[in-house]
A and B are shown apart, each in its own frame.
Chain A
Amino acid sequence: MIQLINVTKVYPHMKAPSLDGVNLRVERGEFVFLVGPSGAGKSTLMKLLYREELPTSGQVILDGKDVARLPRRAVPYLRRSIGVIFQDFKLLPERTVFQNVAFALECTDVPRREIARRVPAALELVGLRHKSRALAAELSGGEQQRVAVARAIVRNPVLVIADEPTGNLDPENTWTIMNLLNQINQMGATVVVATHAAEIVDSMKKRVIALERGRVVRDENRGTYGYES
């Protein structure tokens, strides 16, 4: 599913590389936690996956295709197969919950009938179907993140990437979101989650990849968070 071969990323005007010769392989259907101190390169790694950034050297291979070699016009189609979730939700506050989820389908020209069928299903999964008509701005943080999760999965992506999805949430909501991601993984999607939620990483017993100063320092199945939190 995901393969990183000797990937290095150096941002302009930065001395130290954000990623430094990373080699990594994630199989289809895996659930992976990315851990490590802030600035270790977790976000950079994820940005390479949905081609927000290009590697300085090395190859990022998704589904057998080298992401960096993808022509510009093919990038939108790559992104349609990936669901991305952020710490700050990235919702449109003045639109309703339904509209926020439908937005991902609308701007990729999905027929309206299809939208009417898929959006409620996605909202059902995250338990917010009853809030379809509420404005995103009126929801709590946890609810907003669940809307973002619904938007990420409404297209049935093969890969879901979550960059510190619970960074702004209380422990209870953190559990809800992590359980949702786990559920999405059970349904078949490959899930990569960057997080600082030590307790959850420890109790979920998933594969844990630790990054420090742009290098993979630990990669264990059924791993633990491994840092003081």
Chain B
Amino acid sequence: MSLRGWVTALRDALRNTARGNVMSLASMLSVAVTLLVLAVVVLLAVNLEEMAATAESQVEIKGYLCTARREEVKCGQRDLTEQEIEAILAGIRGLPDVETVTFLSRHEALEEMKRADPAQAEILSGYEGDENPLSDEVYVKVSDVERVAKVAEQIQAMRGVAKVDYGKEIVADLLAFTRAVRIGGLGLVLLLLFATVLTLSNTIRLSVYARRREISIMKLVGATDWYIRRPFVLEGMLLGALGAAVASGVVAWGYIRLAPAIQESVPFLPVVRPELILTDLTLALLGLGAVLGAVASFFSLRRFLNV
């Protein structure tokens, strides 16, 4: 395919776009709106994912080790020896999916309580040594939040571990939430992609219809399908990319203003910073617009090309 062929096709595409200007503008805008909604959905999903990821990383298992004061039967009402504690920690470290294991003895815990509340320090001093009512604790982080329940179970089963705690309901909710975000987001994105293709293919169909005489002559004199298709495919890509450019512009403008404001008013929410996502989002939207336009043109021409 010669360069001149491409130039001619591009010129035709531009001419078509200009000729159907009101229609082209309308379809370009509706593509922009659909892609805008799509971009918003993507931004929301990315932020919710980020939120879920942060929440996930904060999930940890808290294990209480046996002491003479604990009532659990398996503890046998005696303190663990240092060796036993070391063995438990080594055992936990040896479990699959365990990332970090932190140990906090009941004496350290008491010291921390004193530091945290100096007013109570005097009273708390009375509980030092064997009087300490607290338990030695192990904090375990797991690499995958979906494995938390399993790991907790394994730790619970160990000798010398009195009890584990990991916010069962919260983890379950978190998992359900991220799954819903993923499925819902994907469904919505697919729907919007479909809508975009429909819009574009309707416009291209009008453009094809306006040139049906030319197309029939082209076929008669032996133009290849690809030659006939090319300007329309370019026109579709152009409309799609223009729509995407408008959508990207609006989204970028909005997100740059909105993201810091949200971050400021809800500081504990991890809002994805605009500069981290907008470039990728814009490029993705432009590419998507062009690809959808090409796909739409391809389909709207099929009927005209078949003899």
Contact = CB atoms under 8 A, between A and B. Distances in A.
A103 interface: yes
Nearest to A75: B307
Contacts of B5: 109
B216 A107 contact: no
B222 A108 contact: yes
Contacts of A84: 220
A151 interface: yes
Contacts of B214: 92
Given A107-B227, A109-B227, A79 B2 contact: no
Interface string A85-104: 00000101000000000011
Nearest to B221: A104
Interface string B196-240: 000000000000000001101111111111011000000000000
B219 A106 contact: no
B217 A73 contact: no
B254 to A, nearest CB: 44
A79 B224 contact: no
Contacts of A72: 225
Nearest to B227: A107
Contacts of A51: 307
B5 to A, nearest CB: 6
B interface: dominant SS: helix
Contacts of A53: 307
Contacts of A39: none
A112 B2 CA distance: 12
Contacts of A76: 219, 222-225
B245 to A, nearest CB: 31
Contacts of A33: none
A108 B307 contact: no
A79 B222 contact: yes
Contact of A77 (B217, B220, B222): B222
Contacts, number: 53
Given A106-B8, A112-B4, A79 B227 contact: no
B2 A109 contact: yes
A78 B222 contact: yes
Given A51-B307, A52-B307, A107 B223 contact: yes
A76 B227 CA distance: 11
Interface string B154-192: 000000000000000000000000000000000000000
A112 B5 CA distance: 11
A92 B215 CA distance: 11
Interface centre among A50, A72, A106, A107 (most CB of B within 10 A): A107
A108 B224 CA distance: 7
Interface string A148-188: 00010001000000000000000000000000000000000
In the complex, which range does the number of interface residues on chain A fall in?
20 to 34
A213 interface: no
A207 interface: no
B216 A90 contact: yes
Contacts of B224: 73, 76, 108
Contacts of A90: 213, 216-217, 220
Contacts of B220: 50, 79, 84, 90
A92 B307 CA distance: 21
B213 A92 contact: yes
B213 A151 contact: no
A103 B217 contact: yes
A82 to B, nearest CB: 8
A78 B222 CA distance: 7
A131 interface: no
Interface in A45-68: 50-53
Contacts of B219: 76, 79
A80 interface: yes
Contacts of B221: 79-80, 103-104, 107-108, 151, 155
B130 to A, nearest CB: 92
Interface string A103-134: 11011110010000000000000000000000
B305 to A, nearest CB: 9
Interface in B8-34: 8
Contacts of A78: 222
The 10 closest A-B pairs by CB, nearest first: A80-B222, A79-B222, A107-B223, A104-B221, A76-B222, A76-B224, A107-B218, A108-B222, A109-B5, A107-B227
23 contacts: A73-B224, A75-B307, A76-B223, A76-B225, A78-B222, A79-B221, A79-B222, A90-B213, A90-B216, A90-B217, A90-B220, A92-B213, A92-B214, A92-B217, A103-B217, A104-B221, A106-B8, A107-B218, A107-B227, A108-B227, A109-B5, A112-B4, A155-B221
Given A53-B307, A103-B217, A107-B221, 10 more contacts: A51-B307, A72-B225, A73-B224, A75-B307, A76-B225, A90-B213, A104-B222, A107-B223, A108-B222, A108-B224
